[in-house]
Chains A and B, each alone.
Chain A
Amino acid sequence: MSTITEPRGAEFELDPGKAPRRHVVTDVVTAPLHTISLLVRNKPGVLVRVSLVFSRRGYNMESLVVSPALSIAGLGAAPGEFSRMTITCSGDPDTLEQIIKQFEKLVDVVHAIDHTGQPVIESELALVKIKAGLRERTELLQIAENFKAKVVDFGAESLIMRCASETEKLDAFVNLLKPFGIIELVRSGKILMARGLDAT
């Protein structure tokens, strides 16, 4: 009987003497949130298995985005067989290293990569519903223009803005809107992609 087991995407540096935690950057002070991207097999239960890695340690995910992935060259994947997960979470470096290794250990996880400190393109989408009478509109539209946000719903007493940006910029955007009275806020959670030919 033959067996195909592909090497994993994320390489662990198994010699801590040389370079401990290559994928686990430890700068917690300036970057309290880590972003981990997972390539997973799209099997029932894979999301539960991934969440259990956090919950049994009493940790929480800040955000989680799941989306279909392209089929993977060389893995003979049928369409829809793989998914992407992008997870942001906080945690000390040792715990984070364990969490990534525990992801890697899951049979349905093809690879897990911590992108903290790596050159990446990141993006997040927000929909904001704001109380807006005639008087506030001009100012709101100025803010929107500044953040390249689009007004996607105009009502007599409210409007909805859509903004896609880096997470921190979205934070700033939302903060500016707060004084106007945000009625509802929905954010997609962060997605990211490694720059150049590096794998996400």
Chain B
Amino acid sequence: MVTPTPQKVSSGGDKVVQCLEREGVEVVYGYSGGAAMPIFDALVDSRIKFVLTRHEQGAAHMADGYARATGKPGVVLVTSGPGATNCVTGLLTALMDSVPMIVLTGQTITSMLGKDAFQEADVTGITYPVVKHSYLIKEAAEIPRVMREAFHIATTGRPGPVLIDLPKDVTQGPCTAPFVDTVNLPGYHVPDRPARALLEKTAALLAKSRRPVLYVGHGAVISNAGQAILQLATTLGAPIVNTLLGKGACTEDHPLHLGMLGMHGTAYANRAVEHCDLIMAIGARWDDRITGKLSEFCPEATKIHVDIDVAEFNKVVRPDVCLAADARLAIEELVPLVRKLDTADWLKEIAGWRRQYPLKYARKGGLRAQHVLDRLDTLGGRDCIITTDVGQHQMWAAQFCRTTRNRHWISSGGAGTMGFGFPAAIGAAMATGTPTWCVVGDGGFQMTVAELATAKLQKAPVKILVINNHYLGMIRQWQELFFDNRLSGADLEGNPDFVKLAAAYDIPGKRVTRAGDVDKAIKWAMAYNEGPCLIDAEVVKEDNVFPMIPAGAPYSGMIVERPKVKMEKPTGST
């Protein structure tokens, strides 16, 4: 008789990791801890690379950056309790910007759930409002089904983060359940192609327009609709504007492209929106940063809305047609139905605004952030991925660094999460190998600065460009403009020497204080690809981002320079 060789029974943790492998996961970002030990143990035998960050928030943003740069889901693995709660900001950031992410959290053993066990937190409870969906796995047999469903939900339709809470006994115990390939979700419906009748109606509305604007958002990036939109724009003779997150869907140096619209958009984009007779949102959601005062937002214009998420229809504006569809499929099917419009006068008018209100900044009085970013754009920034943090530098980067490729612009839009830019850059650079500029404020950089260690260790080609104004600049700007310059909680007194800080991690750095030195520093960083490097750009402390439509003001209230008179406090959202 032959004794059968004992087969190693997979643990729940093994199964989780095997499922990740089957989903094509290459890298997991995270931080270890007791409740997640069995999953960490399983990673030892896996070909999946694990990246130990320095904080769970960093892990979440790295996975987010990875996902935004590739379109593939980013994966995070953290422990229970504080490990999981440290991911909440990352979940919000990903949810608001529709980023596919899988967050695996360790949890106390099932028999202790609800008993205040060590490092227990009601993680599914805490995170309901910041996930697309979530699971608490009570039995190992559920692992394969839940893992398949989670990836399906995270990556289809409007993407978003999915959290899976994994009690330690579930991951430590055996799991013999077979892998699952099908998904049966009767309540989950994803539109793909638009209805023919609505496409025809859209085409008919377009045919009547003389002053159209195509308003392109993140949905166009996600569905890779850029080529189709450019085709639509050129066929119609219609100008394009994009949102902060729509940057890169259509190359911003196209002659029909007017750059970004909204609060800090270009004046000519905003004038076009103000005066259009038709505005077509493509994967964009009429955010308050875009509409300004809603009751005065394009009141006469025909509105068309293309979105894969039907809950966006009629949420903010009530469009004339709503196309529930993947943006690329919708536009591809629309193009053959439209013809050239008579927009010659319209384009001439826009060209006039372009001449009248070019993006500009003072050349005197010290080093300007705008100059640094303008030079970055000229010296090859368009061939790199650019991530930003949140604040003035973000808006200047959006204005001056034109994005010419899909997924080459990564920024936290909906949540406006300070601390996002640097870890996101690490994730994007690791995912693509593409040199990645991280444009970051001196405030936000310090929120996740500990990831210098991760960047160094991973040799991520991240070029950190600190726009160092020694202020929470955007806060200072608002206080100057709307609060009688009564500065409060805006001074970043106590900043470290960022070059020395980088040096402490063995990361090379340079300080730039004069406009004349900017090119040299950028070229130096461009040439250094062995790992991260840093430029500390000491820019003028007090400078403002213009144009600006104050929050809650109408487009007609756009200011293009510092107003002479005192301004009312903004009434719009934040």
Could you tell me which A residues sit within 8 Å of B by CB distance? 1-8, 12, 14-17, 20-21, 40-41, 44-45, 48-49, 52, 56, 72, 75-76, 94, 97-98, 101-102, 104-111
Contact = CB atoms under 8 A, between A and B. Distances in A.
11 contacts: A3-B183, A5-B185, A5-B190, A6-B186, A12-B310, A16-B314, A16-B318, A48-B128, A104-B310, A104-B311, A110-B186
Contacts of B129: 52, 56
B187 interface: yes
Contact of B313 (A7, A14, A106): A14
A15 B152 contact: no
B19 to A, nearest CB: 13
B8 interface: no
A17 B187 contact: no
A134 B231 CA distance: 86
Given A4-B183, A45-B134, A94-B314, A14 B324 contact: yes
B497 interface: no
B277 interface: no
| Chain B interface category by residue count | 35 or more
A14 B187 contact: no
B187 A4 contact: no
Given A44-B136, A52-B128, A1 B318 contact: no
A4 B322 contact: no
B389 interface: no
A52 B136 CA distance: 18
A147 B420 CA distance: 64
Contacts of A7: 189
Given A14-B313, A49-B128, A94-B314, A107 B185 contact: yes
B309 interface: yes
A5 B156 CA distance: 11
A105 B190 CA distance: 10
A98 B311 contact: yes
A47 to B, nearest CB: 11
Contacts of B152: 3
A14 B310 contact: yes
Interface string B179-192: 00111111111100
B322 A15 contact: yes
Contacts of A111: 187
A94 B317 CA distance: 11
Given A45-B134, A48-B125, A15 B198 contact: yes
B182 A3 contact: yes
A15 B321 contact: yes
Contacts of A101: 310-311, 313, 315
A169 B315 CA distance: 36
Contacts of B241: none
B60 interface: no
Nearest to A3: B183
Interface in B295-324: 309-311, 313-315, 318-324
Given A15-B322, A98-B315, A8 B189 contact: yes
A45 B133 CA distance: 10
Contacts of A98: 311, 314-315
B446 interface: no
A4 B184 CA distance: 5
A79 B185 CA distance: 16
A15 B186 CA distance: 24
Contact of B311 (A17, A52, A56, A102): A102
